[in-house]
Structure 1
Amino acid sequence: MHARPLALAGLIAAAYAVAASPAAAGTLLDRARQALEETGDKIEKAADDAGREVRNFLVDNPDLNRDLVDLGKRLKLPGFDDAGPDAGAGLVAAPSPTAQGGSVTLGAVGLPGSTDVTIAAGPSVDAAEEIATATTSDRGTLQVTVTVPEDAAPDMPLVFVVETADKRVRVVSEAIPVVAAADIVRISGTLSKEGVECPALRGDDGMLYTLAIDGLGDFEPGDRVEVEGTPAEISICTQGTTLGVISMVALK
């Protein structure tokens, strides 16, 4: 959106000129007001073109929101002194708990649109190491499945960090526990069409299991499989017992 940097640059330049030359303040203040009005009009038009309310549009574009907050602070406008990061940005990791080598689905919102990001994991933000890269949607969302590092310690929490290449935006998940290999379960059964949010498995024990996995790959409902995973306490799935899938193999 080319209007954003041009409009903001014009507004900032006019505002600083007012401060530098009080004698010309009348004319320059008029220019600053005009630039502010034009900036608002262009943001409203961009939001309308995207089919979004302005508030939601700014949540979808945290870099733009941050520019506006920075401008308000520079001009010492009321209400901007304590402005913090955009509350709409966030990252959720599921299932929880997970296991070494298991799959975790990450869902993020409030990131810049169509932007390359790095994904890191570790016992803390400072100790997190890069495990994958991805690109956000044009609305600044991200949904991707990553593999838990094999060396993740079962007695330590695990956090995931998604960060833009320019380091301007970073979101961090809540810490999730890592379970030991001894806590992994194996369920045999038949993949079914009963899943609403997630793929489903009707176990040989008669129970319904939902699978926290990004698609079935080459499998389809009706296939007999054995799933290795961990029972999840928190999940985006809404049915049965959710398993964080480590592996799934075909049964004859």
Structure 2
Amino acid sequence: MTARRILLPSLLTGLALLAPIPAQANSCGAQTKAAAGETIQAIAVRCDVALDDLQGANPNLQSGPLAAGMVVDMPGFLGGSLSENARNAVREAGDQIKGAAGRAGKSVSDFLRDEPDLNRDILEFGESLGLPGVKAPPPETGAEARVTPQSGRPGDQVEIRASGFRADVAVKIYATSAAGQQELLGSAVADAAGRVEQKVTVPNRPVGDKLSFAVETERMRLSTEPFAVTAAP
């Protein structure tokens, strides 16, 4: 299997530019007005936001008492500076990935290596933005699906074999007729090597119809060669 590139900093930059700017939870909304003599530290406590984030959203505010009615921007809203919005998005994306890795008991690099679909999405984001040094890997080789035998009657059992998935991923198996009619035949879980072997029943289709069996996840779909529906002997 081709080695996958793990480029966390470039990924987070891409996410910051692509994702909507999240609103940071606080009790003051997008802005608040200072009371007479209130400090930025007191506003951070009153609005339930981190002092560093509040200072970042309001770099021109003095640290001492503020004038009554002075408008203070809350961090994380579109009203903040572009750099502050970007930092908030990067921070949130990084926290989510690090949190998921921590819950899985892995480092971020190991987590992304074991989640190839997520890693590919990350790199594709960066590549679409033209970020320096970011390039999505080519499609995995060895990903394929086969049906055995390649012809049979409705009600017969056939074996579907597929490879190229990530380990332990859940898949669904469909049959699609030549006219485009699709039917769910079953589900399975890929083994530790990313392989699926599952027997399914040929659906009730007219003699001569050509079926295509497909094994798919939320992000990947592999189809077999055409399967011919035959008449009973």
Task: Give the TM-score normalised by the residue count of structure 1.
Answer: 0.45
Which structure is higher in strand share?
A: 1
Q: Which has the larger radius of gyration?
A: 2
